[in-house]
Structure 1
C-alpha cells in the first residue's frame, strides 16, 4: 500500500503542472495583402523542435522554402520558445497552389521543460485562391476523412478526442473511473471464480490477508497488462486480438488448463516439469508462492475469459490508431483495466481473512468444481447448447456427492447444507435429462416440447464487405449489428434489449444486418477495419448511406431508445 500511495503521489506531482495540448499549442492563421501567416503560440516552458517543423501544400513539401526565424539551443537541439510565425508569401503560394481549394498540412512536435514530450501534431488549413487573392481558413486538427471518424458524436469518438486534448493526469484519472464503472458490468464476473480458486490453491496453510492481497494484485496487474498490450496491437492491426484468441483450438487449450487447475484442487495432479528444469524452476519461483502461475492466469484470463468491448476501450483504440501514440493510449488502457480489477483486490483481501483448517479441504473441492464449470463455460462457445446442459448436469451430480449429500446430518447447519445439495442434485438431473432429449433452455430444461422462439426481428447475415457497402448505399435506413458466438454482451443485447417490444417497433424501419465475426478471418478483419470496430458488440445505424449513430458495448432498451430518438 505504501508503494501504491507513493506511485499515485508521484503521478500527481509529475503531471499536475503539465499543460494540455490546447494550452501548450495555440495555432492560428492570418491573411495579409502579400502573404499569409501561420502562428503558433506556445505555453509556459513549451518549445518546438526546429527539425520537426514541416509544411505541405497539396502534399508537396515546401519546408525548405520557408524563412524560419532564429532558433535557440536546448539540449543540443535547435528549438523555438514562446511563439513561431511562418510567413508564406503569395509568390510561393502561386507556384504550388491550384485554383479554388487547396490544403496546407502543418506538422510540428513540442516538449515541456519539465520533461514531457507531446506526440507529433498535425494541423490542416484550407487555402482558397480566387481572383488572384488568397484566403486561409482557421486551422483544424484532422483532415476530412479522419475527422469524420475521430470527432464523431459516438461515445468512443468523444473519448478519443478527450485523449487527444487533455492533461495526462486527468486522462489517467478518468480512465481509472471508467474501469471502476466497467467492474460493475458482467465483464469482470468470470474472473472472480478464477482468482478465488487460484488463491485457495496457492495459499494453503500460509494464508494471510497480506499474501492473498499481494497475489490478487499480481493477477490484476497482469490482467491490465494484457488489456493494454492487446489494445495496442488491435489498434495497429485494426482487428480484435480477443477475437483471434476465440478460435476453437485456442479455447480447447485454455479449457485444458482449467481442467489441470481443477485436478490440482482435488490433489489428483501436481504440476511437475521435466527433471532437467525442476531445479531451475524451484530456484526461481519455488519461494514465491505461485506468483508466476497467478501472473500467467491473469494475463490469459483477460484475453480469453473476459472478451468485453465498451466505449472507453474503443475510444482508446481509435485514439491509438489515429495518432500512433501507443504510450498514452496503452497507459489509459492499463489504468482502466486496473480499475476494472478493483473488486478482485477485495476478493483477495476477503479470502485472506479465512483461517486455515481441515474445513479448507472442502473449500478447495468447491473451487475445483468451479474450475470445471469454467471449463464447460469456455467450451460452450464451440459446442451445441444441449451438450452444455448435459455437461453441467453431470458436473452438478458429482458436486453434490463430493460435497457430502450422503453424509449424516447431526446439526442444523449440516441439515441446511444437505437440503441445498438435494436441490442442486435435482436440478442437475433435470439439466442432464433435458440436454439428453435436446432441450436448450437452462431455466426450463424439461420442457421438451418447447421450440426455439421465432425471431421478432428479421436479420440478414452478411460477411462480405462489398455486399455490406452496397446494402448501405441501396437502403435509406440500415443497422449493422456486429456479433460473435463468444461475445457474452452480444447475447445480452439479443435477449434483453432486442426482445423489448418498444425497441422492436423502433428498429423495424431499418434493414437489419448481422455481421458475425466469430471466425475472425481475413474478410471479418477487413469489415471491422472499414467500420472502426475493434470487437463486438457494436451497433451502427445508417440513414441515406451516412453513419448517424454508433454504439459500442451493451446498451439497455431505455438508453437505446433515447439515442435513436435523439
Structure 2
C-alpha cells in the first residue's frame, strides 16, 4: 500500500511543478495587474473596487456599465491626465479606483474596462459580469458557465471555493456522453471481481483518483503547450485511431473476444496482487489512468475556463488542483454507482450480458461521433441508420417481458431505415432524412458556410477589418477556425451553411481567423481575445467592443447559435 501511495504522490507531484525552462513574462496577467472586487455596503450600495499595480493604469473612457440604465451609472472620480501611443491624451486611474452603485441597482452588470502598462503594453478590453440581485431577469445558465466567468471565479475567489466550484462542475460532466464509456470499465473492475463492499470502495477510489490525476496532468500540459497540443489531438490519424479503439472496446461487449491486458503485464499484476480478494489496486490505478487518457472529457466551458485561467495566470499549481477537483467530481457518480448501487442490483446473471451489449452500442456511437467530421455527411447518416437498426434488432428480444416498451426499439429501427434511404438519395440531415425527395432544401443555403466569411490569417488584417466594421457601425462575428479542428468543420456544415443562420447574420461582418499553422501570427491571433483554441466565436459590437460574456467556446448546434445570437443582439 505504501508503494501505491508513493506512486500516486509521484504522479501528483509531476504536473504541479512549474516548467523549469519557462521564461517569466515582462507583464502581469490582466487580472493580476487590475484586481477587481465588489461587496455590498450596509446602506445597500454596491461597491466596485479596482486595486491597480504600480506601473499600470485604467482608462476612464473605457469604463462601460452595460445592463444598467443611465441614471444608475456610478459617478466617476477625478482622473489624471495621461498621454500614450494607444489613445493619445486620456484620463486614467492609477493605484486604485472605487465606484458606488445605487442600492436599487438590480440584474446583472456587465462591467467593461481596459488598462495598459507604462512599459508599453495595452490589454484587450475586458468585460466582467457582476450579479446585483433584484428582480431583473437572470443570465441564462449557459452564460453562467462561460469560460470567462469560470476564469474570473478562479482569479477572484479563494482556492477552496474554486476547488468546490469545479468539483460541482465535474459532477455535471459525469452525466455527459463523454463520461459514459468509463462506467462499464469501472463496473467490470468492481463487480466482475466479486469484490466486497469495502474492497469495492478501495478499487473504485483508486480508479477515480488515478483518473483525476491524469486530468490534472493533461490540463497543465495543454495550458503550457497551448494550441499546438490541441492541433495534435485533432489530427485525422489520431481521431481515426481513437475511433478504432472504441470499436475494439465494443467487440468484447458483444462476445467477439475477451479483452485482456498483455500476458506479461497481467501476470505481473496478478503476482503483485496475490493474497488480495476482489480485484487488484495496481490494476485499478492503471485502468483509471488509461480511462483518463483515452476517454477524457469533451471540450466544454468548464475545462476551457480552467485552461484559460492557467494560461492567463501561469499558476500551474492552482490550475492542476482545479482540474484534479474536476476529475474527482466526474468520478464520484461512477464510484457511487458501482459501490452503493451494487447493493440494489440483482445478482450476476443474464442481465449483465444485456448491460454489456448496451455499452457496446455506446462505444460504437462514440466511435462514430469521434470521426463524424472526417467522413462524408451521407456516410455518417448511413452509419447512424445502421446503428439504430442494429440497436433495435438487439433490444427487441430483450424486451419480450415488457411488451409496452417494445415500441421504442421498433420506432428506432424504422427511423434507422429512413436514415439509410435518405443517405442513399444523398441526404445529410438526421432529422430530415427524406429531404432529397422533397425537392430543394429550405434549411441549407446553396453556398457553403465558408463562403460567407472573410478569412484572416494575420493580426494586421484583423485590425483593418475590425476598424472598417466599426466605421460602418456593424456587428462583427469572429470565428476561430483551423483545418485540424473537427468541430469547426461540423459547425461550418451544420450551422453556418444553413439558410436561416445566414439570414440572421445578413448584416453582420463575418471574419474567420485561420489559426491552422502553429506560427507567431496564429498565436497572436489567439492571444488577441485570449481564447484556448478553435472553435471559439467572438461577438464584437457596432462600437468595436467585444461582448465578452457572450462568447461561445466549443461546438454549438444551429438552434443554440440562433438563440444565442438573438439574446446577444437584444442586449445591445
Structure 1 unaligned segments of length 5 or more: list them. Answer: 1-57, 60-104, 107-120, 131-135
Residues 187-336 of structure 1 aligned to structure 2 (within 5 Å): 189-202=176-189, 203-204=191-192, 206=194, 217=205, 220-239=208-227, 241-272=229-260, 275-284=263-272, 287-288=279-280, 291-292=284-285, 294-301=287-294, 303=296, 306-310=297-301, 312-336=302-326
> Is 1:124 the counterpart of 2:54 in the alignment?
yes
Residues 355-504 of structure 1 aligned to structure 2 (within 5 Å): 355=346, 356-403=348-395, 405=397, 412-413=401-402, 415-416=403-404, 418-449=406-437, 451=441, 453-454=444-445, 459-460=452-453, 462=455, 464-466=457-459, 467-476=461-470, 477=474, 478-482=476-480, 486-487=486-487, 491=491
Moved more, 208-217 or 384-393: 208-217
C-alpha separation in 2, matches of 1:313 and 1:227: 10
C-alpha separation in 2, matches of 1:266 and 1:235: 39
Alpha-carbon offset, residue 215 of structure 1: 5.9
Alpha-carbon offset, residue 211 of structure 1: 6.6
Deviations 1:411-440 (A, max 9, x none): 652x34554433333222222222222211
Residues 14-53 of structure 1 aligned to structure 2 (within 5 Å): none
| Equivalent position SS for 2:453 | strand
User: Does the Cα contact within 8 Å between 2:487 and 2:535 map onto a contact in 1?
Assistant: yes
C-alpha separation in 2, matches of 1:333 and 1:315: 10
C-alpha separation in 1, matches of 2:372 and 2:246: 14
C-alpha separation in 2, matches of 1:429 and 1:459: 35
C-alpha separation in 2, matches of 1:381 and 1:350: 39
User: Does the Cα contact within 8 Å between 1:240 and 1:535 map onto a contact in 2?
Assistant: no
Deviations 1:364-409 (A, max 9, x none): 122222212221221212111211122222333333444455x9x9
C-alpha separation in 1, matches of 2:151 and 2:121: 12
| Equivalent position SS for 1:487 | helix
Alpha-carbon offset, residue 460 of structure 1: 0.4
C-alpha separation in 2, matches of 1:489 and 1:209: 47
| Equivalent position SS for 1:196 | helix
User: Does the Cα contact within 8 Å between 1:197 and 1:371 map onto a contact in 2?
Assistant: no
**1:75 paired residue number:** none
Whichever of the two has the greater Rg, that structure is: 1
Deviations 1:294-324 (A, max 9, x none): 3144312454xx43242x5444434333332
C-alpha separation in 1, matches of 2:291 and 2:121: 36
C-alpha separation in 2, matches of 1:375 and 1:285: 34
User: Does the Cα contact within 8 Å between 2:168 and 2:326 map onto a contact in 1?
Assistant: yes
Given the two structures, how large is their TM-score scaled by the length of structure 1? 0.62
Structure 2 unaligned segments of length 5 or more: list them. Answer: 1-25, 34-50, 58-79, 83-92, 98-114, 130-145
C-alpha separation in 2, matches of 1:385 and 1:369: 21
C-alpha separation in 1, matches of 2:528 and 2:500: 30
Alpha-carbon offset, residue 493 of structure 1: 12
| Equivalent position SS for 1:197 | helix
Alpha-carbon offset, residue 480 of structure 1: 0.3
C-alpha separation in 2, matches of 1:235 and 1:209: 39
**1:153 paired residue number:** 128
User: Does the Cα contact within 8 Å between 2:427 and 2:433 map onto a contact in 1?
Assistant: yes
Deviations 1:344-378 (A, max 9, x none): 44544575332211222122122222212221221
Moved more, 467-476 or 209-218: 209-218
Deviations 1:270-301 (A, max 9, x none): 33555554422433479427525631443124
| Equivalent position SS for 1:533 | coil
**1:65 paired residue number:** none
C-alpha separation in 2, matches of 1:250 and 1:532: 27
Give the superposed CA RMSD: 4.6
C-alpha separation in 2, matches of 1:469 and 1:374: 40
Q: Which one of 117, 135, 143 corresponds to residue 143 of structure 1?
A: 117
Alpha-carbon offset, residue 474 of structure 1: 2.9
User: Does the Cα contact within 8 Å between 1:163 and 1:319 map onto a contact in 2?
Assistant: yes
Q: Which one of 173, 179, 187 corresponds to residue 183 of structure 1?
A: 173
What is the number of residues matched between the two proteins?
432
C-alpha separation in 2, matches of 1:232 and 1:436: 46
Alpha-carbon offset, residue 533 of structure 1: 1.2
| Equivalent position SS for 1:329 | helix
Q: Identify if the C-alpha distance between structure 1 residues 329 and 254 changes in structure 2 by more than 3 Å, giving closer, same or farther.
A: same
